[in-house]
Amino acid sequence: MSKIKLSFSFLLTLMLVAMFSIVASAAGSTDPNNTYNAGVDGKSGTGVVDGKALTDSDHDNNFDTVKKSNANKTGSGVGGQTENFSNVIKSDDMVKGKDGSHGTQRTHGEYMNNTNSCASCHQTHTGAGASLLFKDGEYATCTACHDGTLGFYNVMGEGSNSAGTFGGSHDGNMSAHLANGTVKLSAAPGGNMKEVTGRGGEWTEEFTCANCHAPHGSYSDRLLHEDPNGMGNTLVKDGGKKLEGTPVLDKTTLPDMKVKYAAADIVIKDALDKVSSTANYIVYRFNIGDATDTNAPTNADYAAKGLQNGDVVLQLMKWNGTQYVIDTDPWLHEYDFDSTHTKHYWTAFYDGSKYAANYADPEFANKLKDIVHTDSLKAGEKLGAGFIGVRNDTTTYPGADTLITNFGKVTTGNIARGYVVKLDVSTVDAKNNVTKTNVASLWAGGANAGKGVAMSTWCASCHTDYLASSGKETGTFDHAYRHTTNSDTYTCVRCHYAHGTDVTIMRDARGLTYQNILSDTTNYFPGVTGDARTAMVKDYLLDKNPSSALKRYTNMAVCWGCHTSSHSGGTRNGDTYQYSTTPGVDTDRNGIDNTQTPNTPNAGY
């Protein structure tokens, strides 16, 4: 297989409140033979045991991946056998720089013009699965490389510090996001479990790896999907991020960025159609270099995209309570076809002209026509974070004058916006793989302010009802009082893993893991050694009422880790409080100490 070294993970994500136990057979499964779980009890199949697929040929449609594959032998030697690693064709030693320098090419995104990466996952004429995947199905394709056999991120291993593991021990309360396609997105707790139409989202889709990760690249770390569950193109009032009917203004209409344009309020409603909040967005149209309003965006904001003085820009702006500021959410430029095979763009701008009343597709009769959209931006197109710009240069970009004219005509726009989640993933190994993620930065605030909220918002694309403030009855699909998740202090991943968990990676209220406690012979079970100690530590961390909640902390230590000093007016910790924190060791109530190095005892990473 043509395979290269990753620069960041295809299968490491962080996600909200957990879903399902992989041990249990899912209702409505599309896998009647339970092949993903086979092998656990000694039966044949393609299940996961100790992090590796027992067999892999069942996912190849009986193709000989050496003789009947493509020229790069995609799939040969992949899946469950580490001894085949040397047979896999990798896209390293590629000409990478203009100076002729060589390097390693990325598999997922940021492809070079001489790319060989496509063949890492696809077979042009002999694909075993849809989209010409070299394995039958997304789960089988992803795990063929990410099961630890090829040296890439092993999602079946002992568990990453950020996302957990899919390959936990079955005798240790294992639970996992069931991402093998056997359940639908509607199975997500806090989501649209009845698959009600017209409420946004793609609830009828099967849940697979690609629902959380974008294999061809994304705006986020760990390849987290820019449009999870289709929420990037779902209206804000329905839990998504799409803006509809956003007014396009210029200096004649909005001369001062510190004056709110009241007519731009986008109303956000709850499930009972009650107004819960309003968010003020406008699209500001201007020519770079126009300094009429000193608070307006400047050349410096767009120079990196090749724009210069005189170029025209449509920039999304959001009211922050004091003035309009640049909204940097990337715009999604996909489109849908109608019955006449006409494209209708997710992000588009309108001048008020409409399709005829007798338009061939009644769904779009009398609807606004796209005037400025992705395909129209061919002359001097410059795309960026939250804006589009056109070079005022008809010599270099023929047709730019027509596009600029259209820019001047538009009065409103619909804008589908992508999700962005940035993590602390600065540490890399010799192969340029990101090896550590400081997940604690997602609830640290300070220099990382906003990262935790972005993570919770991303999780809530499926677990919609769980993005909430404490003490309030919330929910798009059902109503209940919920724990706070919409602040950096209480982000979703503070309490939950994303991939899966078991007794070996869960923590107690001090933030200590199985390995930490096993080595702490002073504070935990002094004098107990050998197998007896192993069993005792495991029993100590075993969830007595196991669920599929993907909890970072065992039992209700998931609460006790933070609430050791709660609002209770009664006795807090009496003489019988066991295994209490050690003075000088724990600087945070749940054992998270950001001053320590990752992977050291009690570091909390």
Is a pLDDT exceeding 70 seen at residue 603?
A: no
pLDDT at 34: 33
Sorted by where each begins, the domain ranges of the chain are 242-415
* Residue pLDDT, tens place only, 310-362: 899 999 999 988 999 999 999 998 999 999 999 999 999 999 999 999 999 99
Among 85, 180, 70, smallest CA distance to 128 is for: 70
Ranking 140-154, 213-227, 533-547 by mean pLDDT, the lowest is 140-154
Residues forming beta bridges with residue 349, ordered by sequence position: 372, 413
User: pLDDT > 70: what percent of the chain?
Assistant: 76
| Residue, of 103 and 459, whose pLDDT is higher | 459
* Residue pLDDT, tens place only, 63-100: 666 677 766 777 776 765 555 566 666 777 778 778 88
Helix, strand and coil percent figures for the chain, each rounded to 5 = 20, 15, 65
Instruction: List Cβ neighbours of 109 (8 Å cut-off, separation of 6 or more).
Output: 214, 216, 217, 218, 223
pTM across the whole model: 0.83
Is a pLDDT exceeding 90 seen at residue 442?
A: no
Tally DSSP H helices, then E strands, for the chain. 6, 21
Where is mean pLDDT largest: 46-60, 131-145, 214-228? 214-228
Q: What is the mean pLDDT of the chain?
A: 78
Pull the structure tokens for residue 457: 């918002």
Burial class (CB in 10 A: 0-12, 13-18, 19+), 597: exposed
* Residue pLDDT, tens place only, 260-270: 998 888 887 76
Ranking 127-141, 175-189, 190-204, 479-493 by mean pLDDT, the lowest is 190-204
Mean pLDDT value across residues 148-177? 81
pLDDT at 277: 77
Can you say whether residue 200 is alpha, beta or left, with left for phi > 0 and alpha for psi between -120 and 50 degrees?
A: left
Is a pLDDT exceeding 70 seen at residue 130?
A: yes
* Count of alpha carbons within 13 angstroms of residue 491, beta-carbon side: 28
Is a pLDDT exceeding 70 seen at residue 578?
A: no
